[in-house]
Structure 1
């Protein structure tokens, strides 16, 4: 695909998301989601790569199903509102609407497509899927997400699936996908309190995820074994380790800040059981993060059985990676006091 077409599709992708989150009607949000969908499919499809074409087809079918459910629910809700009829039907339709948004962003238990699609994409495409493509569904959920048992089940299933299934992954893209599912549980929990908390969490998550993916893209890393081989530089290892642990929410790194805020709010609202489950599942996530980082730190390969060692020469990028995560403790203290 030519660069001109990529720029056009990427601009349309951004426009679709902005239309969806700024629309004053549900039909407008649906149109924005469709514009976003039809612009992202060409970006991830490649006739020379059968895997990306397969991912594009899976992504299109799942998103089309979610869009159909979304449109069905908003049309019926409009009809019922025009007739001034409010009943259990309204709550059922709102649950269908929310379920379609959960399916669009890949939250558990509607996550079946998310890791498979992510694993067949390159790092640039995965970066968009794990960050930008979640903005519109999550913003729409802030309007309709109820504070009830259905929302709690989605949150618990997301943190459990992301942590437990992530234990068994050796492919970095799948590991990042299950990590994203786990973070989605935390972001959905933040929506129960304040939209500002979700924005803080999503901004920090997206920043750390993009930085890690850019690092792995530059070093051409797709499997854990390649981490040991390609990272033959101590500064690279240090950068990857602190940002990977920051993504896991280990204090005193920056990724701990949003989880700290959410835990504090849940305890204030007496959600002790939900807080306990989420913290325990995050401990499991931190386990496989630490397993990866310790292996990088302790294992050195003298022989190279993949490809020649790649040197990452961008020292400024390494400096930014380190400063963002190491400054987490100071930033956490300042922002917590402000909140």
Structure 2
């Protein structure tokens, strides 16, 4: 029997929203930990489904990994309270607290659970896991950040997110590794300023929302479905615009926050980190272009009689928001001339 109704589902959504706000606005580390735990308990019923074993397995894996991260976080907090006056332990404690928060958000090198759980979720739950569930750990990470440690983690995120995407046929896993790659950019924006982080995060969430909504309406989960299905040209164009913007291709809107971050890193003489970020973005763009390029070029004769269309009023809204990304062309002209 399905153990929660739509009204209970809305209740868990509200709990997920408010407990994130409580966690990031708490005055004590213990309050932050409690907010993270209640947030965890609010998200598990949303991804659990007794009618789908993959969702149930993903919920169990998510609970176990988040519990391990919470235990490490609580243990680090207790050590910090006990060894408050021991300044020699501050560096060690900051690495422990940062590591537990990185594990909670699915960052490298603690990313092992993230793609596997993404594979068992629906697209809307994937969107929540890639965006909203990263807010609390990211903001708590900014409170007690070990800069040298985070610099190394940023490099790992950029490289692992790009390299692990090779030979992936699942779009959900590809989006998971894209999220890991963008975590490196998010941490870099967080080191610049809170406003820069907020701008990058909102833009990243906006692009993910459009892509997840499109894939959910089309019921697409694998790359060969994009290639084999005879999709409308406007659907392919919408996917192309949003994928290119997510990858940071220069004319599109997603390029501008990455451009600001690269300028900051270059001015700070972080040339190695800048090189890794740029190369990882090029590799991610290769994955996106491979999907879109083949979907435009390949035609299957057996499917020519069958045209996939979307009869949904929201699709016109999505196309409108997709075209907002093209405003990057206008902004590009104003910024250069």
Provide the TM-score with structure 2 as the length reference: 0.94
Aligned residue pairs, count: 330
Look up the match of 1:298: 297
Look up the match of 1:13: 16
Give how far 1:180 is off.
0.5
Q: Matched residues in 1 for 2:189 and 2:201: separation?
A: 10
Residue 229 of structure 2 corresponds to residue 247 of structure 1: no
Secondary structure of 2:19's match? helix
Look up the match of 2:310: 312
Do the aligned residues in 2 keep the contact of 1:243 with 1:321 (CA within 8 Å)? no
Do the aligned residues in 2 keep the contact of 1:20 with 1:30 (CA within 8 Å)? yes
- Unaligned 5+ segments in structure 2 are none
Give how far 1:289 is off.
1.1
Q: Matched residues in 1 for 2:230 and 2:78: separation?
A: 53
Residue 131 of structure 2 corresponds to residue 128 of structure 1: no
The Cα RMSD (Å) is: 1.8
1:44-95 CA-partner distances (Å, limit 9, x unpaired): 01111111111000000000010111111111112222xx2211x2211110
Do the aligned residues in 1 keep the contact of 2:232 with 2:308 (CA within 8 Å)? no
Moved more, 220-229 or 325-334: 325-334
1:170-221 CA-partner distances (Å, limit 9, x unpaired): 1110010000000001111122221211111111001001101101100110
- Unaligned 5+ segments in structure 1 are none
Do the aligned residues in 1 keep the contact of 2:210 with 2:318 (CA within 8 Å)? no
Provide the TM-score with structure 1 as the length reference: 0.93
Give how far 1:246 is off.
0.6
Residue 231 of structure 2 corresponds to residue 223 of structure 1: no
Do the aligned residues in 2 keep the contact of 1:106 with 1:113 (CA within 8 Å)? yes
Do the aligned residues in 1 keep the contact of 2:165 with 2:177 (CA within 8 Å)? yes
**Aligned residue runs from structure 1 range 206-221, under 5 A:** 206-221=205-220
Distance change >3 Å, CA 53–CA 309, structure 1 → 2 = farther
Q: Matched residues in 2 for 1:333 and 1:205: separation?
A: 23
Q: Matched residues in 1 for 2:47 and 2:94: separation?
A: 31
